[in-house]
A and B are shown apart, each in its own frame.
Chain A
Amino acid sequence: KAGVTQTPRYLIKTRGQQVTLSCSPISGHRSVSWYQQTPGQGLQFLFEYFSETQRNKGNFPGRFSGRQFSNSRSEMNVSTLELGDSALYLCASSLGTRHLGSETQYFGPGTRLLVL
């Protein structure tokens, strides 16, 4: 099976702009989660989507939003970019059939966003 794919891989934006990142999960996976990784804060959970509905949300401002389509593909949007939004944005997918600790998440390669 193909792994999780993310596009684009690299992105440069300026403050105030908005950005949309895309994630295609592993075939058959219905849960997609987004994470932000920075050297200072480590990996932080943004939100999780399952069956086109946001099921969990981390502690990020409303500028960070997402959605999931009927084919389980997901997009994440960040509006009014700030310098501190520069990070590696990771998408991870899982089956989503059980919301338990035994369900493994598989990560994509990430999108590296640089905000100037």
Chain B
Amino acid sequence: DAKTTQPPSMDCAEGRAANLPCNHSTISGNEYVYWYRQIHSQGPQYIIHGLKNNETNEMASLIITEDRKSSTLILPHATLRDTAVYYCIVRVGIDDMRFGAGTRLTVKP
């Protein structure tokens, strides 16, 4: 079973920020939070990951709460091409990679 809980679906207007929440209340101290997305059943695309601190890269920002029990992925200016299923994962090792149902984000014009 996945160790995370995400809303099944979300909508976002094109050009606006998309904020995708993830609950991981049972996360342990050495587990990282990863975000991937999958478009049209292609291979999952890596977005960002973090341990404790907030992280930002060219694709997105990751905000992790101080108690690490939840996080938010932020796509600052969503485009139609960001429509995908977004997966939040907590993991230690490679064999610990378990995807839940994810959040289906639909970006609307």
Residues on A lying within 8 angstroms of B by beta carbon are: 4, 6, 31, 33, 35, 37, 42-43, 45, 48, 56-58, 88, 90, 92, 94, 99-110, 112
B100/A102 in contact, CB under 8 A: no
Per DSSP, chain A at the interface is: strand
- Do A109 and B42 form a contact, CB below 8 Å, given A101-B32, A101-B92, A102-B32? yes
- Do A4 and B43 form a contact, CB below 8 Å, given A42-B101, A101-B30, A101-B31? yes
Give the interface size class of chain B: 20 to 34
- Partner among B44, B45, B91, B100 whose Cβ is within 8 Å of the Cβ of A101: B91
Pull 8 A–B residue pairs with CB atoms less than 8 Å apart, ordered by A: A4-B43, A35-B97, A42-B100, A43-B98, A56-B93, A57-B95, A104-B34, A107-B45
- Kindly provide the distance from the CB of B87 to the nearest chain A CB, expressed in whole angstroms: 8
With a cutoff of 8 Å between Cβ atoms, the chain B residues found around residue A88 in the complex are: 41
Residues on B lying within 8 angstroms of A by beta carbon are: 2, 30-32, 34, 36, 41-46, 49, 51, 91-101
- Partner among A6, A33, A90, A107 whose Cβ is within 8 Å of the Cβ of B94: A33
- Do A105 and B97 form a contact, CB below 8 Å, given A90-B44, A110-B42? yes
A92 to B34, CA, bound (A): 15
A58/B95 in contact, CB under 8 A: yes
A99 to B43, CA, bound (A): 22
A45/B95 in contact, CB under 8 A: yes
- Partner among A45, A99, A108, A109 whose Cβ is within 8 Å of the Cβ of B97: A45
With a cutoff of 8 Å between Cβ atoms, the chain B residues found around residue A43 in the complex are: 44, 97-99
With a cutoff of 8 Å between Cβ atoms, the chain B residues found around residue A109 in the complex are: 42-43
Which one of A4, A33, A43, A48 has the greatest number of beta carbons of chain B within 10 Å? A43
